Structure 1
Amino acid sequence: MKTGLIILAAGSSSRLGRPKQLLEFQGKKLIQRAIEKAQKSSSESCVVVLGWNPELIKTGFDSETVSYVINENWEQGMASSMQTGLRFLIKKDGINQVILMLCDQPFVNHQLLDNLIIEKESSGKGIVASFYSGTLGVPAIFDQKYFQDLLNLKGSEGAKKVILENSEDTIPLNFPLGALDIDTEEDFRRLEKI
């Protein structure tokens, strides 16, 4: 199986009031941390999806060596950004499965990403999704049989819709720290205390 990985980093961080992609945590910008974790994982290819102010966000990582794609329609919601990344990886690398992750979940590490791949292989299921705060979400891995479902999502619909619609073909992977993502200054202050 050829695994692709999409890092979603296209949003404008409107609730935070400054670009969350460039926030520093443990000496590294969130976008750079996400890229490093993805690169350490056993996925074969990775793409960062940019949208809002891409030239500014590119200052947070080495855009000469890291694949990125710009979603011109990022304001339409998360679905279009995920689809931009998925189309890029299908065309460029002919992937059979894809991991979706956000750049603002600072506790995602390469072991978690690898565990998604391992669980999918050993379970024979089509989806493995992170489990936190009583629900399933990303990071999650999807078999190519779900690519069309992902490409059919609209507006603010996220991958969670595909996960919930196919619960019988989904395995949960415990990731309690997945609950911590950065949407507000309060979230970031809580993260700094940890």
Structure 2
Amino acid sequence: MIKESRPSTGLIILAAGSSSRLGQAKQLLEFKGINLLQNAINVGKESCVDHVVVVLGANMDEIKANIDFRSTIVTVNDNWKKGMASSMQIGLKKLMETEYPDQIIIMLCDQPFVDSKLIDSIISVQSESDKGIVACQYNDTLGVPALFTKKYYDQLLNLSTSEGAKKLIYKYLEDCEIISFELGSIDIDTEEDYKNLIGKKT
């Protein structure tokens, strides 16, 4: 169980990309009867996070028409073409302006096997380890969902758009706790990825 005195946590869901390689808005692809972005939002709501921020950009009108954003904070990255780092920074700035949580978790909208148990585990692991970063391990790499405490906010905001949060994970491995999450390697970038997903037995 996570203690009631746990640090406050903001969840940043990155959903601003145009899905150019896919040819349609990946945010709205359905898996198990629900589209990917709605599933990500529901995961956030069902978890122990205190605030959920969704960063939109491309295909925004279509996405807004098909998603229930109640109980979330929606912000827009007008420069979404610059990449995920810019969207993460937009989401972080929004949280810092409105709630300023003790820590954030960065999450993609197209990792369909992320669930609330994983998010809660990340929070618990941080509380137990007192590390500044908690990252997921899959495909011999470390990545998101990943937690950063507020001591890393300035460095996250100073990343170039060509860099990602992974740079900080590897730079500060001594301050990073790792969770194994092999299904984290499954994300949706192409039509083939999506066909593999919907054909996958879970």
* Conserved 8 A contact 2:25-2:59: no
TM-score, with length taken from structure 2: 0.94
> What's the counterpart of residue 68 of structure 1?
74
1:12-31 aligned within 5 A: 12-31=18-37
| Match 2:102 to one of 78, 96, 107 | 96
| Matches of 1:108 and 1:65, distance apart in 2 | 19
- In the TM superposition, what is the alpha-carbon distance from 1:53 to its structure 2 partner? 2.3
Q: Are residues 1:184 and 2:195 paired?
A: no
Cα shift readout 1:72-105 (whole Å, capped 9, x = no counterpart): 1111111110000001111111211000000000
Q: By how many angstroms is 1:113 displaced?
A: 0.3
Q: Taking structure 1 as the reference length, what is the TM-score of the superposition?
A: 0.97
Segments of 5+ residues of structure 1 without an aligned counterpart are none
Cα distance, 1:57 vs. partner? 1.4
Root mean square deviation of aligned Cα: 0.9
1:11 equivalent in alignment to 2:17? yes
In structure 1, C-alpha distance between the alignment counterparts of 2:142 and 2:111, rounded to whole Å: 14
Tell me the amino acid that sits aligned with residue 151 of structure 2. Answer: K
Moved over 6 A (4+): none
Instruction: Give how far 1:65 is off.
Output: 4.4
Residues 167-187 of structure 1: per-residue CA shift (max 9 Å, x gap)? 111111010000000000111
The reply to whether residue 47 of structure 1 matches residue 53 of structure 2 is yes
* 8 Å CA contact retained: 1:32, 1:61: yes
CA shift at 1:166, angstroms?
0.7
Contact 1:129 1:136 in 2 (8 A): yes
SS of aligned partner of 2:147: strand
Q: Given that residues 11 and 49 in structure 2 are in contact (C-alpha distance below 8 angstroms), is that contact kept between their aligned partners in structure 1?
A: yes
Q: Is residue 71 of structure 2 the alignment partner of residue 58 of structure 1? A: no
Change (3 A) 1:17 1:3: same
> Structure 2: which 5+ residue stretches go unaligned?
1-6
- Separation of aligned partners in 2, 1:178 and 1:98: 18
Aligned to 2:142: 136
Write out aligned runs for 1:78-157 (5 A).
78-157=84-163
Aligned residue identity for 1:100: I
